[in-house]
């Protein structure tokens, strides 16, 4: 909406986190049938190139993403290849199925969380709250969730999403982090301050995941933090596999998405919904649009 995401240009029907019901199928479709409830991978590749065969359709030269550079889900009907839909059990609502966040699952998994790991998550928005749960599922030893918005930390604390909560002084470059050597830091905030903080606060040989999409370039990033601390830094435009895993986690209740959906809007009030998300309305974590 702000034009910060490369390749996304209005006018565009929005909606890239999608769930729905199969209305009709093509004659060669055999994975799903009419009436099936499904979640949808919004990243559509050609299905034939090497990248697609490696589940990396996000980099397919002939691919597109629904709601980003092709009309998305805020409409009555959507046509997608059968390989992009995944059946959901009755125990998962459409709302939950729309916010499964495969990217978070694959990004966090990539960090190779170990049982002894101390993990710091920057940003207690919906992504950070999901990342926190997944980090625990993956067996982290200790999880700290951090945000400057007290309201979000309170909600996270109420939901018991982490072991510790911290109101992060992201802009305080003088803070000494040597006493809390984090093994892994997940930057789910995507600001200049959060990224610099992540590189500073992680221990030598630690791992940093950069999840948040930056709205602008960082002017003065100290790359020597990576070089001289021998860090591993991960990006976040992840492979598209693992949908069955995350469906299972949500179905079993291990991943609580229900509590994160705080606001619901009929599609007719779509503009109001986007405003609420953009303005971070009081208590809003995840909003869903209902058709």
- The residues that touch Zn ion, with contacts defined as CB under 5 A, are 45-46, 49, 52, 60
Q: Which is nearer to Zn ion, 41 or 96 (CB)?
A: 41
Please provide the distance, in angstroms rounded to a whole number, between the alpha carbons at the two ends of the chain: 21
Q: Which is nearer to Zn ion, 45 or 125 (CB)?
A: 45
- Measuring CA to CA, which residue among 80, 141, 93, 89 is closest to residue 113? 141
Q: Which is nearer to Zn ion, 46 or 267 (CB)?
A: 46
Tell me the CA distances in angstroms from 183 to 34, 136, 142, 186, one per residue in order: 47, 14, 10, 10
Q: Which is nearer to Zn ion, 3 or 61 (CB)?
A: 61
Smallest distance from the beta carbon of 66 to Zn ion, in angstroms? Answer: 16
Scanning 86-190, the segments in alpha helix (DSSP H) are: 94-98, 102-110, 126-137, 150-158
Both tokens assigned to 286: 């995840």
Q: Which is nearer to Zn ion, 81 or 270 (CB)?
A: 81
Smallest distance from the beta carbon of 63 to Zn ion, in angstroms? Answer: 6
Which residues are paired to 261 by β-bridges?
286
Q: Which is nearer to Zn ion, 57 or 106 (CB)?
A: 57
Smallest distance from the beta carbon of 80 to Zn ion, in angstroms? Answer: 15
Smallest distance from the beta carbon of 61 to Zn ion, in angstroms? Answer: 7
- Rounded distance between C-alpha atoms, residue 182 and residue 96, angstroms: 31
Smallest distance from the beta carbon of 49 to Zn ion, in angstroms? Answer: 3
Smallest distance from the beta carbon of 52 to Zn ion, in angstroms? Answer: 3
> Is 258 within 8 Å of 234 (Cβ atoms)?
no
Q: Which is nearer to Zn ion, 52 or 247 (CB)?
A: 52
> Starting at the edge strand that comes first in sequence, how are the strands of the sheet with 182-187 ordered?
164-166, 142-146, 118-122, 182-187, 202-210, 232-234
Q: Which is nearer to Zn ion, 60 or 113 (CB)?
A: 60
Smallest distance from the beta carbon of 53 to Zn ion, in angstroms? Answer: 8
- Rounded distance between C-alpha atoms, residue 144 and residue 172, angstroms: 18
Smallest distance from the beta carbon of 60 to Zn ion, in angstroms? Answer: 3
Please report the beta strands in 68-201, taking only residues with DSSP state E, as ranges in sequence order.
Answer: 85-87, 118-122, 142-146, 164-166, 182-187
- Measuring CA to CA, which residue among 94, 87, 70, 78 is closest to residue 13? 70
The total of other beta-carbon atoms located within 10 Å of residue 215's CB is: 12
Which residues are paired to 20 by β-bridges?
38
């Amino acid at each position: 909406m702000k034009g910060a995401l490369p390749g996304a240009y209005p006018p565009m029907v929005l909606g890239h986190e999608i769930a729905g019901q199969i209305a009709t199928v093509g004659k060669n479709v055999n994975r799903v049938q009419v009436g099936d409830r499904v979640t949808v991978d919004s990243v559509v590749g050609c299905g034939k190139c090497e990248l697609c065969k490696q589940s990396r359709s996000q980099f397919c030269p002939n691919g597109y993403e629904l709601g980003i550079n092709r009309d998305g889900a805020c409409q009555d009907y959507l046509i997608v290849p059968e390989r992009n839909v995944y059946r959901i059990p009755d125990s998962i609502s459409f709302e939950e199925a729309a916010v499964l966040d495969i990217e978070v699952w694959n990004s966090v998994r990539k960090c190779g969380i170990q049982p002894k790991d101390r993990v710091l998550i920057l940003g207690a928005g919906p992504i950070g709250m999901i990342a926190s749960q997944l980090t625990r599922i993956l067996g982290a030893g200790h999880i700290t969730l951090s945000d400057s918005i007290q309201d979000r930390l309170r909600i996270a604390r109420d939901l018991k999403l982490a072991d510790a909560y911290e109101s992060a002084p992201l802009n305080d470059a003088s803070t000494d982090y040597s006493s809390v050597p984090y093994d892994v830091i997940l930057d789910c905030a995507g600001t200049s301050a959060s990224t610099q903080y992540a590189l500073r606060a992680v221990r030598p040989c630690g791992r940093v995941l950069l999840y948040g999409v930056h709205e602008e370039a960082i002017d003065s990033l100290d790359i020597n933090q990576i070089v001289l601390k021998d860090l591993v830094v991960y990006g976040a435009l992840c492979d598209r596999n693992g949908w069955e895993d995350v469906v299972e986690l949500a179905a079993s209740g291990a991943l609580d998405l229900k509590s994160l959906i705080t606001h619901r809007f009929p599609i007719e009030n779509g503009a109001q919904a986007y405003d609420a998300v953009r303005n971070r309305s009081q208590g809003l974590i995840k909003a869903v649009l209902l058709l």
